[in-house]
Amino acid sequence: MNADDPRPKTQTPFVIWFTGLSGSGKSTLASIVEELLRAREVPVHNLDGDALRRGLNQDLGYDDDARDESIRRIGEVTRILVDAGHVVLVAAISPFESGRKRARSLIEPGRFIEVFVDVPLDVAEARDPKGLYRLAREGHLTNFTGIDSPYEPPSHPEVHVDAVALNPRDAGELVIASLEAAGLLANRS
């Protein structure tokens, strides 16, 4: 790091990978965690799956192979940023366990925190912020995760957020407490 680098000299680079159904609250939670980290003067990059679909992954469809390639690309970008010393948040459905495991394998052990933002399908559908579940149910969207394409919940996430029981702010505090417990952030208490 050079003298002009604003990052704290002792900050360990790591990734927090938020996974869950569309409408589970991944992006909302990632934004709250970003805000909490910035309040601690931890510079952070927030990579949102929807934003990456409009750019880096705009050439991909939504079948299983395309979803797998999307997560592979996001994993590679994340690895580059973590290798450069950055803290990275990723909010992406990432429906397949194998894709998430591959992304984890790119990061030094202990520096990949998987956060499962868990809601039942009926809750995700009721939230439906983009109207996508309705379109999938009406047959206008195919290969939609949770409807006609599978979602494989993480078998051993570092953080399991019950996004029905916890409000987003409390869930964000849970993630921060997990980072402290893992030794990735200094404890503020």
User: What does the pLDDT average to over 48-67?
Assistant: 83
Structure tokens at 141: 């969207």
Please give the share of the chain, as a percent, with pLDDT higher than 70. Answer: 94
What residue ranges in the chain does DSSP mark as E strands? 15-19, 44-48, 87-91, 112-118, 159-162
Structure tokens at 47: 């990579």
Structure confidence at residue 161 as a pLDDT band (50, 70, 90): very high
Distance CA 115, CA 26 (A): 9
Structure confidence at residue 8 as a pLDDT band (50, 70, 90): very low
Least confident of 27-31, 53-57, 78-82: 53-57
pTM exceeding the 0.85 threshold for the entire prediction: yes
Residue 110 is predicted with a pLDDT of: 94
**Please, what is the average pLDDT of the chain?**
90
Structure tokens at 95: 């429906």
Taking only the tens place, the pLDDT of each residue in 112-137 is 999 999 999 999 999 988 888 999 99
Distance CA 106, CA 101 (A): 9
Answer whether 20's CB lies under 8 Å from 117's CB. Answer: yes
Q: For residue 20, is it left (φ>0), alpha (ψ between -120 and 50) or beta?
A: left
What residue ranges in 42-118 does DSSP mark as E strands? 44-48, 87-91, 112-118
- Centre a 10 Å sphere on the Cβ of residue 13 and count the other Cβ atoms it contains: 17
* Of residues 50, 31, 26, 34, the one with CA closest to residue 163: 26
The residues annotated as belonging to the active site are: 94
* Of residues 136, 171, 172, the one with CA closest to residue 151: 136
Q: What domains does the chain contain, in order, with CATH numbers?
A: 15-181 (3.40.50.300)
